[in-house]
Chain A
Amino acid sequence: MLKKLLVLALFLSAGSAGAELKPEPLGRVETLPVPYPPHWVIAHDAAFHHMLDGKFILLDAESPQPGRLIKGTFNGSFVGHFAQSAARKEFYVSETFFSRGSRGERTDVVTIYDMATLAPKDEILLPGAKRGNMIPGRYNLHVTNDGSLLLSYNFNPATSISVIDIDAKRVVNEITLPSCALAYPTGKRGFSSLCGNGGMVSFQLDKQGQVASQQRFDPFFDVDKDALFEKPAIINGVGYFPTFQGYMQEIDFNGDLAKVGRRWDMLSKDERAANWRPGGLQLTAADGAGRMYVIMHPDGHEGTHKDGGPEVWVYDVKKRARVQRIELKNWGISVEVTQDKEPLMLIINPESMTVDVYTAKTGEYRHTLGDFGQETPLLLHAVR
């Protein structure tokens, strides 16, 4: 027994000597694995109370614990807009700076971030001081489907699209829009925009970013009576645009020019009688399997279209039918869904400005992401 105790004492003393901390190297900075794990998401925080200091916060949606949740951040000045290219391993942020902080000469740029370092690696000047400064959405800044051009929406208040050659890192064209807005990727290298008269325009571009073909569509929706939300989910090239009154308008963006598709009812007769309606800031999302998620609220009426809601309804867009109804733990204002085979559904809670995470397939609440330096994270971007 005594021998055993002596051996134990020797072992413990040797152990404590071995635990002495070694000096550590200085100057090390983390880098990130690219592609990212599929459950990482980007919280887009416009910092509404101090817009010159907006930021994007990369989160691991599986890990609410401090120390594991935040993977890194990057900035977006004066309500930046966001796009990403997995092929180029880059993020793009269109932003605005003033030479004297909140005043002075205005400069608009697209800043290019390296996904591995989250450091700015280049920037592209946007001339004309006309970058659309507005509540962020998914179609203010977008990479064309062939990956070659970046499209940036302008508003001054004339509307246009700046066409940026990503390789050349410069604006190569500006396409004036006839009172239309935003850019939905169309065909190989084109885009389409919804218009104030209830119509649409569609453009296909050549490699140089010049207009190769275009079409102007007659009005196909009534902006006053039942406007299309400008925030569709695009699934297999087809845009699914909810309307204020709860119909779904399909627009096919697969060809060189858009095609107006079918319109179908999102609601049953009883649901319509209860005034269930879509609503929210970013009210739609789609998973990798093509299921569409829409935030819904009851008792809807004029003016409730940005209110968000207590439920998410999931649609099989091929069958044009709802397949799931998810009651949210907390009221939601924006939704995003990860793109993997076991997707997470993420909901922004407007009261606490936190993110509730659900298992998308079952609708089961998992946990809440909070305390990640956020203030007004208006929308989320899954890695695509």
Chain B
Amino acid sequence: MNWLDHLVERCTRRIAQSTSRRSFLTRLGTALVGGAALPLLPVARAAAGQAGGTDADPGDPTSCDYWRNCAIDGYLCACCGGTTTTCPPGTEMSAITWIGTCRNPADGKDYIISYNDCCGKTSCGTCLCQRNESDRPVYRPHTANDYNWCIGTKSAVYHCTVTVNIGLATGAS
């Protein structure tokens, strides 16, 4: 699967926008403007377990079209010996990362997805996927998928990326 083929493919695909996501980003942006010297970085702790392919979490986790992949840029760990929420054997999950806000088609709600990189082995090499909803340039790191986020791990070498649901974007329930 070619990474940039997805780009071309995606050019004809419209993905619904979300008012609630914008609200979330506005709030986050406000927090940042508050004057922190460092980016406000989400810290995600992935829980073990498979996701996807259920009524509540529909779709194929090994497909770039899977709903959690809306802001991903990398290899899908679900194709690489891991799952959507777990790293492949022998790798290490980066604790700091970028986030996206993706709409689950099953319940129509927006979830914050933490894109944690799995590190310590060279590129997985399959299921490369780039989607950029709510991605912003590298001057705002916490929503920038252009960085290698294997930071603070034993090795900076990037292998693949998980898509961990860390909660509803609206915080309403």
- Considering only CB atoms and an 8 Å cut-off, how many residues of chain B contact the other chain? 54
* Chain B residues with CB under 8 A of A129: 156
Total A-B Cβ pairs within 8 A: 158
B3 at the interface (CB under 8 A from A): yes
* Chain A residues with CB under 8 A of B71: 303
A135 to B37, CA, bound (A): 24
Q: Which residue of A lies closest to B74 (CB)?
A: A48
| Proximity string of chain A (24-66) to chain B, C-beta cutoff 8 Å, 1 when within and 0 when not | 0000000000000000000000001111100000000000000
| Proximity string of chain A (207-237) to chain B, C-beta cutoff 8 Å, 1 when within and 0 when not | 0000000000001000110011110000000
Establish whether residues A180 and B139, one from each chain, have CB atoms under 8 Å apart when the complex forms. Answer: yes
Instruction: Please give the distance in Å from A320's CB to the nearest CB on chain B.
Output: 23
* Chain A residues with CB under 8 A of B47: none
| With contact pairs A179-B39, A227-B136 given, residues A304 and B10 touching in the complex (Cβ less than 8 Å) | yes
* Chain B residues with CB under 8 A of A176: 37
Establish whether residues A308 and B7, one from each chain, have CB atoms under 8 Å apart when the complex forms. Answer: yes
Q: Which residue of B lies closest to A308 (CB)?
A: B7
Establish whether residues A51 and B140, one from each chain, have CB atoms under 8 Å apart when the complex forms. Answer: no
* Chain A residues with CB under 8 A of B140: 196, 223, 227
Chain B facing A: main interface SS:
loop
B11-19, B80-88, B105-113 - interface stretch: B11-19
B48 at the interface (CB under 8 A from A): no
Establish whether residues B147 and A224, one from each chain, have CB atoms under 8 Å apart when the complex forms. Answer: no
Instruction: Please give the distance in Å from A281's CB to the nearest CB on chain B.
Output: 9
User: In residues 104-134 of chain B, which contact A (Cβ within 8 Å)?
Assistant: 120-123, 125, 128, 130-134
B141 at the interface (CB under 8 A from A): yes
CB pairs A–B below 8 angstroms (16 shown): A49-B128, A78-B156, A103-B155, A106-B156, A133-B156, A134-B138, A196-B32, A197-B29, A197-B32, A227-B140, A304-B11, A306-B135, A307-B132, A308-B7, A309-B11, A351-B2
A-B residue pairs, 9 tightest by C-beta: A350-B4, A303-B133, A196-B140, A230-B137, A181-B139, A133-B148, A135-B146, A194-B139, A197-B33
